[in-house]
Structure 1
Amino acid sequence: MKPTESSKRIEVLDYLRGFALLGIILVNILPLLAVKIPESGSADAIYQRFLFLFVEGRFYTLFSFLFGVGFYLFISRANAKGKNGYVLFLRRVAALFVLGWFHVKFHTGEALTVYAVTGLLLLPLYKVKKEINLAIGLILLIVLSIMASKLFMVVPLILLGITAGQYRLFEGLAGKVKKVVFFTVLLLFVSITALIYQYQQAPLYPFGFYNGVDEATYQFLSIGIMIGPIISALYVVALILLLQIPFVQRLLTPLKSYGRMALTNYIFQTVFIYIAGYVFNLFESLTYLQSLLVCLTVYVFQLTFSVIWLRFFQFGPLEWIWRVVTYLEVPPLRKRVKQVY
Structure 2
Amino acid sequence: MTEGHVAPITSSERIGELDALRGFALLGVFIANYVFFAFYPFASMEVHREAWSEDPANVLALQATLWLVSDKANTLFGVLFGMGFWVQLSRMKARTSDANSLYLRRLTILLGIGAINLYLLWPWDILFVYAIAGFLLFALRGLSLRAMAIAGLVLMLFSRPVVKTTSRELGILGRQEGLVYNPDAQASRFDTIINGSYADWVREFAFMTHEGFFLSGVLISWILYALGRFLIGAWIARQGWLERIAELRPRIGRIALVVLPLGLALEYVHMAVNNDMMELPDLANQAVHMVGLVLAALGYATALLWLYHSKSLGWLPRLFAPTGRMALTNYLAHGILFTLVLAGFGPGLALAGSITPIQTLMLAVGVFVALSVFSHFWLRTYRYGPLEYIWRTLTYGSAPQFRRQPAIAR
Tell me whether the two structures share a fold, i.e. TM-score over 0.5: yes
Q: Displacement, 1:168?
A: 1.9
**Is the CA contact (8 Å cut-off) linking 1:93 and 1:116 kept in structure 2?**
yes
**Alignment map for 1:5-84 (pairs within 5 Å):** 8-30=13-35, 32-33=37-38, 34=43, 36-37=48-49, 38-40=52-54, 42-84=56-98
Q: Displacement, 1:287?
A: 0.5
**Is the CA contact (8 Å cut-off) linking 2:110 and 2:128 kept in structure 1?**
yes
1:329 corresponding residue in structure 2: 398
Deviations 1:269-323 (A, max 9, x none): 0111123334433111111111122212212210110000000000000000000
Corresponding letter in the other structure for 1:171:
E
**Alignment map for 1:171-186 (pairs within 5 Å):** 171-186=243-258
Corresponding letter in the other structure for 2:149:
L
1:272 equivalenced with 2:340 (yes/no) = no
Instruction: Identify unmatched segments of 5+ residues in structure 2.
Output: 1-8, 165-220
Corresponding letter in the other structure for 1:259:
G
1:263 equivalenced with 2:328 (yes/no) = yes
Partners of 1:253 and 1:189 lie apart in 2 by 23
Partners of 1:76 and 1:199 lie apart in 2 by 40
| Counterpart among 107, 112, 117 of residue 93 in structure 1 | 107
Q: Displacement, 1:223?
A: 5.0
1:110 equivalenced with 2:125 (yes/no) = yes
2:148 corresponding residue in structure 1: 133
Partners of 1:12 and 1:145 lie apart in 2 by 29
Partners of 2:299 and 2:162 lie apart in 1 by 22
**Is the CA contact (8 Å cut-off) linking 1:146 and 1:226 kept in structure 2?**
no
Corresponding letter in the other structure for 1:74:
Q
The percentage of counterpart residues that share the same residue type is 26
What's the RMSD between the two structures over aligned residues? 2.7
Partners of 1:138 and 1:9 lie apart in 2 by 27
| Counterpart among 380, 397, 404 of residue 311 in structure 1 | 380
Partners of 2:268 and 2:32 lie apart in 1 by 21
2:228 corresponding residue in structure 1: 156
Corresponding letter in the other structure for 1:102:
I
Q: Which structure: larger Rg?
A: 2
Partners of 1:93 and 1:257 lie apart in 2 by 23
Deviations 1:188-216 (A, max 9, x none): 353144134324413239xxxxxxxxx99
Corresponding letter in the other structure for 1:276:
V
Partners of 2:233 and 2:34 lie apart in 1 by 26
Higher helix share: 2
| Counterpart among 172, 195, 199 of residue 267 in structure 2 | 195
Corresponding letter in the other structure for 2:258:
L
1:210 corresponding residue in structure 2: none
TM-score, structure 2 normalization:
0.73
Q: Displacement, 1:46?
A: 1.2
Change beyond 3 A, Cα 1:146–1:201:
same
2:370 corresponding residue in structure 1: 301
Partners of 2:233 and 2:400 lie apart in 1 by 28
**Is the CA contact (8 Å cut-off) linking 1:18 and 1:260 kept in structure 2?**
yes
Change beyond 3 A, Cα 1:124–1:248:
same
1:246 corresponding residue in structure 2: 311
Corresponding letter in the other structure for 2:144:
K
Matched residue SS, 2:407: coil
| Counterpart among 234, 238, 251 of residue 166 in structure 1 | 238
* Of 316-325 and 189-198, the range deviating more from structure 2: 189-198
Partners of 1:263 and 1:294 lie apart in 2 by 20
Matched residue SS, 1:174: coil
Matched residue SS, 1:110: coil
**Is the CA contact (8 Å cut-off) linking 1:65 and 1:158 kept in structure 2?**
yes
